[in-house]
Amino acid sequence: GIQVEQSPPDLILQEGANSTLRCNFSDSVNNLQWFHQNPWGQLINLFYIPSGTKQNGRLSATTVATERYSLLYISSSQTTDSGVYFCAVGEGGGADGLTFGKGTHLIIQP
Amino acid sequence: DAGVTQSPTHLIKTRGQHVTLRCSPISGHKSVSWYQQVLGQGPQFIFQYYEKEERGRGNFPDRFSARQFPNYSSELNVNALLLGDSALYLCASSPGWGYEQYFGPGTRLTVT
């Protein structure tokens, strides 16, 4: 099956800093989503971005499907941005289940 | 509009028992997927149901089963519970094939 690798696994930043999280995947996809998991386990949808670029406030994402990677940018980090960020991809075809990476654990210090 | 809802929130079971978890999708969504997340890992795909039929299955033993009802709600059943089944079980709904998936708050299962 498809492999998803996220980097870095851990990231510690000061409030106000910018960050870039990367997601590499091993095959073509028809679905790519970025999530933020809060301390209670809830997965919050950030972007649905199988290709192209999107922006939502301080967050933006870019997926280059031909090169099989996606980037999540967080600007002017706030302590509330802390948590685990997951990239998940869907291959399409016969099944629609998402394959998740191991996540990036982000800590924003005041 | 209500999001994806799951019940119960928490559950404690003993090894060998059976458990049923429930999920109600977002209104209008016809696809429901189930995922298992163990501590420190990303969620793993268990099942997908679309229009009441199983459309995908992950690498999980036959002790895991699911079904989708005419109102598109779903149940996940796990038989003969093992300690390793302790995890957060997440349900996701989507309008259909290949669309964005939205997750519920999860059911935290502890097997003792």
Check CB contact under 8 Å for A86 and B88. Answer: no
List, as ranges, residues 55-74 from A with C-beta within 8 Å of B: none
DSSP state of B25: P
* Band of residue A93 on the pLDDT scale cut at 50, 70, 90: low
- Beta carbons within 10 angstroms of residue B32's beta carbon: 30
For chains A and B, CB pairs below 8 A equal: 68
**Residue A108: Cβ within 10 Å count:** 20
Q: Enumerate the H helices of B33-105 as residue ranges.
A: none
User: Which pLDDT belongs to residue A95?
Assistant: 62
Q: Are the C-beta atoms of A8 and A20 separated by less than 8 Å? A: no
Cβ-contact B15, B112 below 8 angstroms: yes
Question: Which residues 16-75 of B are in CB contact (within 8 Å) with A?
Answer: 31, 33, 35, 37, 41-45, 47-48, 50, 55-58
Note whether B106 and B53 are within 8 A (CB): no
Residue B64 confidence (pLDDT): 98
For A28-64, what is each residue's pLDDT tens digit?
A: 998 999 999 998 899 999 999 999 999 999 999 999 9
How many angstroms away from the CA of B106 is the closest CA of chain A?
7
**pLDDT score, position A94:** 58
The angle formed by the CA atoms of residues A6, A9 and A15, to the nearest 5 degrees, is 110
Q: Name the band, by pLDDT with cuts 50, 70 and 90, for residue A1.
A: confident
Nearest to B41 among A30, A40, A102 (CB): A102
Element (H, E) at A70: strand A69-74
- Is A92 near chain B, with CB under 8 Å? yes
What does the alpha-carbon distance between residue B57 and residue A95 come to, in Å, rounded to a whole number?
8
Per DSSP, which regions of chain B are E strands? 5-7, 10-13, 19-24, 31-37, 44-50, 53-57, 64-68, 74-78, 87-94, 102-103, 107-111
- Please give the pLDDT value at position A45: 97
CB-CB under 8 Å, A33 with B101: yes
Of the candidates B31, B56, B103, the beta carbon closest to that of A43 is on B103
CA angle B87, B92, B98 (to 5 degrees): 130
Q: Which of B42, B50, B108 sits opposite A86 (nearest CB)?
A: B42
What is the mean pLDDT for each group of 10 consecutive residues in chain B (112 residues)? 92 98 96 95 94 91 97 97 98 89 97 98
pLDDT at A48: 96
